[in-house]
A and B are shown apart, each in its own frame.
Chain A
Amino acid sequence: MIRKLVRFLDRRTGTAPLLRKTLRYLFPDHWSFLLGEVALYSFVILVATGIYLTLFYENSTATVVYHGPYVPLQGQEMTQAYRSVLDISTTVKAGLLIRQTHHWAADIFIAAIVLHLIRIFFTGAYRKPRELTYWIGLTILLVSLLEGYLGYSLADDLLSGMGLAIGYGVAVSIPFFGANLAALIWDGPFPGKHDFFSRMYVAHVFLIPALIGALLVLHLALVALRHHTQFRETRRQTERKVVGIPTFPGQTPRSLGLFFAVAGVLFLLGGLVQINPIWLWGPYHTYISTNGAQPDWYLGWLIGALRLVPGFDLTIGHYTLVANPFWGGAALPSLVFIFLYLWPWLERRFGGDSAYHNLLDRPRDAPMRTAIGMTTLTWVFLPFVAGSSDRIYVTFGLPYIPQIWAFRVLAVVAPPLAGLIAFWVCRELQAGERVERRRKRAEEEAELA
């Protein structure tokens, strides 16, 4: 049976040699290598649940009066888009499960990518010859942030609309052409015409997912072409020899097992842990808003940054050049991503290492990189925490205004401090290892003597 299948395929496609190579491709083993896989499998779940949701979602801003089973909203005016998401959550059987699983999958997808990126950064996996893989991965993260934001916005509940308003505020704040750009995207000033929803919709369900899918394929192809990196755990692992478990039989049940584990956890979350209960928020209108709203976690750093920037527009006399939301909403993420894109080049240029690398560093092996990485991470993490400052106020009673001032000071002081501490820790660890090695050698010599 299998013999027949293999022979059929080989005679039609001539791919038996490729198949043999694929089955014996080696996967170096380390727990942190699973993070990228978790992202990949979350994406699979996202696509599957997302397709299901499109079968019920109505992409229309025409207003209707709600007469569905959810009593508190009966008689309210809302868009058809919001009504259809309400219906998915109430009347469509298993609809709420799929919607919540989709939302959780998005949160975990981006979390896995971010952790994967942190791993890649601190172990130097992006170095030559893998810069292309790294840049593609960064691009996947960038468009995934946008994709998540669009998905969240399409529900057209109150929080969606507030998120869109802020997105619009950031767009118009861009110097020179911000308002023109926003007019192009929204078809005029906020809240735009219904074309805007069609645009979000086609971007969210087709353009961006297709782009992410294509980039994923490229990313994986490049990984395979250059082969995985590995840690030097024994003498066997070198810059020229990779040590690992072959795709088949060793790696196959492991990877499939991880896929089912990811799917299982996502469905459990989707069924048991409520996320974004849109029926509680109600429909959006430009003239209403609610307090204490939290965006999805991956936008928290932007909300925090928008809050931390002191209140000023950059003006010359009476002429506004840069409006305030630009700094937190556009400049911060641009800077972080530009830094990440440039980093492999920066390190080569100023670190003086242009060699070809297949072995990974441990963070301590490259104290400068680790220090710079920790600085950046702290700089992103602080506004992330500040994004929940109102929640901190409600939960712990820390007054809001002093908190914001504390975060403003910390945002300047803490990142370099974190870098210095990281540098020192790396050096200490290295020194400790050197002492250990010397002691061992001395012991061996003593034994010989």
Chain B
Amino acid sequence: MGRARDALVAGLLLLARKRKRRLWPGQRERIVPPASRNPGSELLATLLLLAAAGCAVAFIVVYVLDRLPAHTQLLGLSLGLACLFVAAALIVTAKRLIVTEELEDDYPAEEHVDEQETVLQLVADSGFSRRRFFKLALGAAGGALALAVLTPIASLGPAIDLARFYATPWRRGRRLVDEHGRPYRASDVEEDTLYTAFAEGSDKEQLGSSLVLVRLPKDRLKLPAGNSGYAADGIVAYSKICTHAGCAISLYRAPLFQPDEPTPALVCPCHYSTFDPASGGRVTFGPAGRKLPMLPLTIAPNGELRAAGNFDSAVGPSWWGVRTKRPTS
């Protein structure tokens, strides 16, 4: 019945077109031209939608049946396929079942001169524009109020006083401990291995606490004058935090470093800044802009490693004026 009517309407429309769109009384013109019937595509779209429904049900089943192998994979597969089947059905609909009209329309006007004029006149007539002192006061109130509202942002953190940036837990006599709090003895530290140490009793996460500890053959050490006496029995200690951007230095002559590099090197895996442990932490390659902070060591009579003071320079990535102050305990 409906189809017959559609066909009739289509026929009438054709007639109407030929007669320059003269319509019969009570007859309305179609907006969208009739689509050609396409039973094959209709069947295809229907089947695709049914497949989507099947996959969606499968998702629920997989979800309920716990302990399937590859649970996540099956869930993703069923849900993803359900969506893709719906997508396919919609595309068949778009391409085959409905008409694709290519229509023309005007772009909007570039501007509306009359309206612009009216707005300007409104402002001019309102009297606002002439009272200059009033406008000034308005600006002052607005600015001051904005500042007042923004002030509490200062509570977010200690933005003015940077003392905490220079603070480390190290001072003369502090013991070096490992991750479990056991003190290091000089005899624990062997050549060709990198050890991580912390200030005893400190927060290990604090940037100033962690150290890299390596032992070098004593004849290899070429410490600059400023660091003479920092090594203890060939053992040297540096801040573990890279002076480039704050990653932890965890590679010691690592495989990613050039294999034929002659001297041992400490390497940061983030951007491969490379430091020479034999010469006070000098940068030998990579983006770091200053040497690794070095910690002076001593060996206590019982063989334990202790700090002989604080680092020779500030710990962590660099900031404005970082070299001007020595770290504090």
Contact = CB atoms under 8 A, between A and B. Distances in A.
A26 B99 CA distance: 14
Interface of B: 32, 63, 66, 71-77, 79-84, 86-91, 93-94, 98-108, 110, 153-154, 156-160, 162, 164-165, 196, 198, 204-207, 209-210, 240-241, 244-251, 254, 256-258, 268-273, 283, 285-290, 316-324
Interface in A45-75: none
A421 interface: no
A328 B270 CA distance: 13
Contacts of B164: 183, 188-189
Nearest to A238: B107
Interface in A286-320: 286-293, 303, 306-313, 315, 318-320
B207 A189 contact: yes
A26 B100 CA distance: 12
Given A172-B317, A268-B76, A315-B323, 20 more contacts: A94-B75, A97-B79, A169-B247, A173-B245, A177-B320, A183-B158, A188-B157, A189-B316, A195-B156, A227-B107, A249-B32, A250-B100, A253-B93, A257-B89, A264-B86, A287-B240, A293-B270, A306-B270, A311-B286, A313-B290
Contacts of A14: none
A292 B80 contact: no
A244 B102 contact: yes
A222 B319 CA distance: 42
Interface in A370-423: 390, 393-394, 399-401, 404
A342 B257 CA distance: 42
Contacts of A249: 32, 98-99
A390 B272 contact: yes
Interface stretch (A117-125, A142-150, A160-168): A160-168
A107 interface: no
B289 A166 contact: no
Contact of A179 (B73, B165, B249): B165
Most buried by A among B63, B101, B164, B317: B317
Contacts of B100: 245, 250
Contacts of B290: 313, 320
Given A183-B158, A189-B164, A257-B87, A321 B287 contact: no
A256 interface: yes
A260 B93 CA distance: 14
A225 interface: yes
Contacts of B153: 184
Contact of B79 (A185, A261, A267, A292): A267
A325 B321 CA distance: 15
Given A188-B164, A306-B287, A287 B210 contact: yes
B248 A287 contact: yes
13 contacts: A26-B104, A97-B76, A173-B319, A180-B159, A183-B158, A243-B102, A264-B80, A264-B87, A286-B204, A286-B207, A307-B287, A313-B318, A319-B324
Contacts of A37: none
A246 interface: yes
Contacts of A313: 289-290, 318
Nearest to A226: B108
Interface residues of A, number: 106
Contact of B157 (A185, A253, A394): A185
A433 to B, nearest CB: 25
B84 A264 contact: yes
A186 interface: yes
A270 interface: yes
Given A289-B247, A307-B271, A175 B320 contact: yes
A265 B80 contact: yes
B75 A97 contact: yes
Given A249-B98, A267-B79, A292 B269 contact: yes
Contact of B254 (A254, A258, A291): A291
Nearest to A358: B107
A293 to B, nearest CB: 7
B210 A319 contact: no
A314 to B, nearest CB: 8
A249 B283 CA distance: 66
